[in-house]
Amino acid sequence: MKLHLRGDRKCRVIVAILLATLAMVWTPSRVPGQEAPENPAERRAREFVEVVNSGDTNRMRQFVQEVFSKGFLEAIPPEEHVRILTMTYQQEGGFDIRRVSAPGPNAADVIVQGRRTKEWSRMNLRVEDTPPYRIAGIGIMPTTAIALEYPDRPLSDDEMVAFLKRVLDSAAAQGQFSGAVLVAKNGQPIFKAAYGLASRRYNVPNQVDTKFNLGSMNKMFTAVAIAQLAEQGKLSFSDPIGKYLTGWVSDSIGRKVTIQNLLTHTSGLGSYFNEKFMKSSRELYRKVDDYKSLVADEKLAFEPGTKWQYSNTGFLLLGAIVEKASGQDYFDYIREHVYKPAGMSNSDCYDMDDPVPNLAMGYTKSDGKWKNNIFMHVIRGGPAGGGFSTVEDLLAFANALMGNKLLKPEMTRLLTTAKPELHSPNYGFGFGVEENPHSIGHSGGFPGISSNLSIFPDSGFTVAVMSNTDGGSVEVANLFRHMLNLRAKRQT
């Protein structure tokens, strides 16, 4: 997930108290109505909401100092936590908890609704493994009422499609979903539909072939390009990045960080969406090389290969390596070697000042009003994200990838397999990897951008969801994963 600090209420909260995880779909292990003992994270989540709802700054300060973990307080100073909680209370008037579930023994997934704004949010909270179970991280992101729509029994294929359609029709009618959804079985679509508006200014509806922003999903295409070059012997995953990059990072970083560190987010590098970028004209950044000045002074947060930290800078550097190793412009390479063989005719990193047909504008809410995101993100996407595609093109990509049209079978497996030995337990080379049920893919998010591709190899399903509003794809993808999880539990 790509997140940026800006004046918007949601994003300030998201960035400041983000649990540092990749924004992959997180499936609750317990559905509403099930009786189960409350785990420590659930208890802490309820305590956290209660403290926020008090509006008492002193109580917030005491809670932060006593209940937040040492690492969480080192990442964000206590008074900054207090400031964020106070601001959240002032803006939301507190939260009402609508659902609590447990994706793991030390994690809680909480759906809340703002008392003043009536807006929905998803709260992910993680606690330490041992008593007193201090809070180790909190993430809050926009969501929709779809988060409450979970079936309580396994459904057939036809029933799942009917259930999904009913939920989407209802959500769209309430203004809770805008975008396109495609579900395929064994490579063939069994459901596809579009909802909401591509342009609120001109009242233009979204269509199934509307181009939506991918967010961070471009990372999959960059990883495929790197793997293709590895197959050709033009690079090796174990190569230090300094072998290919000059003037991008310090010599020390160039020697320490390897290509596989970049692919697995274990490099220790951060994000080039820094203060300098925020204060610069977006016009300055169109080609990969234009970003060089933004990362030249980056420092490592940890020794490469020892931890996992999502890194946009890492995939930007991979784009520069694609150019060096292939001798082609990054964008030309992706068009020729990824989009074309996959049959993705409606995908590219379009310049946002060009009149691109059938392209959705992104919308984010600020103080209860819709705002377009044209001045918030890049003018042109690139190796780390920000390009455009359609749900049909994402299915074409999934089919080409799993059909080994882009890579040899062993290389496809390498990219789409988690790398715990590299301290990347839920991420392969450019692909997120999840279990229960097993899936591979990626998501992308930003104000007014929310997209997700989930490929379920065991059941043959592929789900592509693209939305032009905050968090729009998350709950749709979660819902489908939940339905598959119910079926898997029945079979065992």
Q: What is the pLDDT of residues 251-270, one digit of tens each?
A: 999 999 999 999 999 999 99
129: exposed, middle or buried (Cβ count in 10 Å: 0-12, 13-18, 19+):
exposed
Total length of the chain? 492
Question: Cβ contacts of residue 400 below 8 Å, gap of 6+?
Answer: 341, 342, 343, 406
Rounded Cα distance between 169 and 148, Å, is 15
Residue 31 banded pLDDT, cuts 50, 70, 90: very low
Domain 9-148, CATH: 3.10.450.280
Of 32 and 186, which is predicted with more confidence?
Answer: 186
Computed over every residue of the chain, the mean pLDDT equals 89
Q: Which of 105-119, 130-144, 310-324 tops mean pLDDT?
A: 310-324
> What is the C-alpha to C-alpha distance for residues 140 and 85, in angstroms, rounded to an integer?
12
pLDDT at 338: 98
Q: Has residue 27 got a pLDDT over 50?
A: no
How far is it, in rounded angstroms, from Cα 446 to Cα 469? Answer: 9
383 preceded by a cis bond (ω within 30 of 0): no
CA gap 180, 200 in Å, rounded: 16
75's CB contacts (< 8 A; 6+ apart) are 20
Mean pLDDT along residues 73-88: 93
3-state SS, 442-489, equals EEEEECCEEEEEEEECCCCEEEEEEECECCCCHHHHHHHHHHHHHHHH
Q: Which residue has the tokens 């994706």?
A: 103
Name the residue type at position 266: T
pLDDT band at 492 (very low <50, low <70, confident <90, very high): low
Contacts of 188 (CB under 8 A, 6+ apart): none
Residue 183's DSSP bridge partners are: 191, 463
What pLDDT shows up at residue 14?
37
Among 372, 381, 444, 375, which Cα is nearest to 198's?
A: 372
The CATH code that applies to domain 153-492 is: 3.40.710.10
Tens digits of per-residue pLDDT, 391-435?
999 999 999 999 999 999 999 999 999 999 999 999 999 999 999
pLDDT tens figures, 134-169: 999 998 888 888 888 889 899 999 999 999 999 999
**What does the domain layout of the chain look like in residue ranges?**
9-148, 153-492
Sheet of strand 461-467: strand arrangement = 188-195, 179-185, 461-467, 449-456, 439-446, 432-434
| Range among 102-111, 231-240, 352-361, 363-372 with highest mean pLDDT value | 231-240
Most confidently predicted of 7-16, 52-61, 138-147: 52-61
Q: Which residue has the tokens 């592929």?
A: 462
Model pTM score: 0.84
